[in-house]
Chains A and B, each alone.
Chain A
Amino acid sequence: MDALVGYILQDGVLLSMGLIAAGLFWVWLRTGRLAINYNIAGMNLFEFVTQEIHLAVHGAVRPRLLVNLGIAVLMLTPFVRVAASVVYFMAVLRNWKYTFFTAVVLAVLTYSLFLR
């Protein structure tokens, strides 16, 4: 499990950085400046991600889409890591105590990701 957790964390961060950098690069190509300024209106990550996917599918691909996706991937990295741990404790190690503990963490995180 150590290796799996390690790779999830590392790949998540790298992917997110890649997306963000790509988005910024695109802005620079388009406008010659490296400035985007906008706020994400108060919403939770779930709404945020579905909104981004919706925009992408409908062809409204702008640099900020990449940056937003990068941020979403970054936030999901620890989440995926915990989810993987739940599965691992349950299915592989069959350690019910820790399946429970990690499930609690996952539940609290899920709750927080749905806050509005």
Chain B
Amino acid sequence: MVSFELLFPLSVLAGFIGAMSGMGGGIILIPALTFMGVDIKHAIAISILSVIATSSGSASAYVRDHITNLKVGMFLEMFTIVGALVGARITVFSSPAPLYITFGAVLLGSWAALLFAGHKTWRAAGVQDGFTRWLELEGSYPDQALGETISYKARRAYLGAPAMFGAGIIAGLLGIGAGAVKVLIHDLIMGLPPKVSTTTSNLIIGVTALAGTSVYLAAGLINPGFAAPVILGVVVGAFLGTRVLVRLSNQSVRIFFLVILLVLAVQMIARGLQGI
């Protein structure tokens, strides 16, 4: 039986790593829980519940700083939440092995994305298409680092929306925030500045996680005895992680995560292939 004494510190660690890497707690938490013997579906359910906490917590600060674009968030939420309902439903009816393999694949994808992360400077997009303009998806925000207010216009909402549906499926299916996917969509497809991408993604993640959690709750997969220490731990860990983040060098952090992601990915896929 898994005990609080183990769950809490483990969750703090997962939240800490998740916040530092910007990958969110779920990516680390779910493999960690399964290694401790928690069934993967229960782990996914607990994780997605905790994602509501971590994302809402961080989103609250960014929203108040006026960096988050609420309209972009609310428009895209329509698509992510339906995706999350679909994804969670699939997981409830799936057998464990494919879940392990899919999770491992997503970990590998995150690893590859981190490995090949280039440094693209954001430039204001040239033309905004009619649909996106009708959606009023533009804004400006005060950028503290640059010391000025940046204006931007989003674009290609007609691509961003279906892509977010896909991101929602991943989030609901695997109990993660899928923040990385969402940020990519905001950044590459819709041309939002990086800070707006990440903060808006945070906002969307919370609502998406709620949709997924509802499905798991209805399926009876939520064990509050496990969930309670995990939620507390992950939030505490994330809080600490964001504080520490500023002090570490980028290179050492990056190498650390590349190693962890690869190890976890291989483990999850191997377990899936062995039929656990």
Contact = CB atoms under 8 A, between A and B. Distances in A.
A61 interface: no
B4 A34 contact: yes
Contacts of B222: 39-40, 71
Given A9-B57, A35-B4, A115-B215, A24 B228 contact: yes
Contact of B206 (A3, A9, A40): A9
Contacts of B81: 105, 108-109, 112
Contacts of A20: 228, 231-232
B64 interface: yes
A45 interface: yes
Interface string B206-231: 11011101110111111111111101
Contacts of B3: 34-35
Given A71-B227, A101-B78, A115-B215, A6 B60 contact: yes
Given A2-B64, A98-B74, A77 B1 contact: no
B56 A38 contact: no
A98 B211 contact: no
Contacts of A82: 74, 77, 207
B32 interface: no
Interface string A23-64: 110000000011111111111110010000000000000001
23 contacts: A3-B63, A9-B60, A10-B61, A13-B235, A17-B232, A34-B4, A36-B224, A36-B225, A36-B228, A37-B223, A39-B222, A42-B218, A43-B220, A44-B218, A67-B228, A74-B53, A75-B210, A78-B52, A82-B74, A102-B74, A105-B77, A109-B81, A109-B211
Given A74-B231, A81-B207, 16 more contacts: A2-B68, A2-B70, A6-B61, A13-B53, A17-B231, A24-B229, A35-B1, A37-B223, A41-B220, A71-B49, A75-B49, A78-B207, A101-B74, A108-B82, A108-B85, A112-B214
